[in-house]
Amino acid sequence: MKSSFNLALMLFSGAALAIQPYCQPGFKPIADKDLQLDLSKLNNVFTISHEEKTPPTVTTTEVQVNLCDSLPVPNENAQDFCGKDTLICRRIIHTKGETKSVDYIQPIAENKDNTDFKPIKPEDDATKSGYQYILSLNGGNWADKAQSAQVFLECDESGSKDKPSDPTVVSYNHDVLTLQWKTVFACATKGSEKKPDDDKKTTPPPSNPNDSEKKGMSGIGIFFTIVFVLAAVYFVGGAFYNFKMYNARGLDLIPHREFWFDLPYLIRDLFAHVVDSVMSHRRGTGGYVAV
């Protein structure tokens, strides 16, 4: 039992360490400043493709990036993709008609702990657009040559918080892939301030004592609406019935016409009876009996 617990703990620890530290919430990009970055929204696969006509084929240069965690390896045709623990993968694909051929598979950077994340100008305002960090990744190897990547993360306050933009491939020279990435998540926040995606988490408004009254009014409104609908169905349906069955016209279309015509008199008589009963009760409470 104890060995099983230790094994589970090791697996959990390994999974936790798979996420790069700069993608952890609360990451401090500048050691001597109370600033934080939350790049966890970039923990996803971003694909950048560039096509070029190279008769008789079309050459596609594809770069897959996940700065935070390893790229997934498909179950099918796994040999056409970079292996596990890869953060950045570059592939060259040639297409001729409906036939595709993956000719180059280059693991540029691996998911290791030897990354380097630092600001370019620490003295500038890291909360404003244009502020940049440089992220150095390495560990890849292709054709017996070490591969690496440099990712320039740039703060873009106008960027989308729901759908992060894709990075841009700047160059691939001398086995070094250079990427430029403008995103709102590269904008630092002070420790006491909300993060870029915190505006979605709104605090529920305080309870209003009038809410119960509003709910009561809405219930009354529903009641009268139902009564109105039933009355409309009654009168329209009754009129249609009288028209079809008795070929009625005009006021004769009203269902139970005699009752509705007599209703005002019935109400008048009822009201008079109630008033008379009340007055008689008052006259009878004086303590004297009429002779």
pLDDT tens digits, one per residue of 164-179: 999 999 999 999 999 9
Amino acid (one-letter) located at 141? N
- In this structure, what token pair is assigned to residue 91? 């592939």
My answer on whether 105 and 28 are in the same domain is yes
Q: Based on the fold, state whether residues 132 and 255 are members of the same structural domain.
A: no
| Co-location of 184 and 109 in the same domain | yes
Is the pLDDT confidence value at 214 over 60? no
Is 191 in the same domain as 266?
Answer: no
124 and 70 belong to one structural domain: yes
- 56 vs 206, higher pLDDT: 56
Q: Compute the residue count for the chain.
A: 291
Would you say residue 55 has pLDDT above 70? yes
State the pTM of this model: 0.61
- One domain, residues 52 and 156: yes
Residue 236, in any domain of the structure: yes
What is the rounded distance in angstroms from the CA atom of residue 107 to the CA atom of residue 91?
9
* 7, part of any domain: no
DSSP, collapsed to helix, strand or coil, labels residue 240 as: helix
My answer on whether omega of the bond before 56 falls inside 30° of 0, hence cis, is yes
Q: Record the tokens describing residue 289, joined without a space.
A: 């009996």
The closest of 22, 52, 56 to 40, measured between CA atoms, is 22
Res 51 pLDDT > 80: yes
Domain check: are 40 and 153 in the same one?
A: yes
Q: How confident is the model at residue 191 (pLDDT cuts 50, 70, 90)?
A: confident
Domain containing 77 equals 20-198
Q: In total, how many domains does the chain have?
A: 2
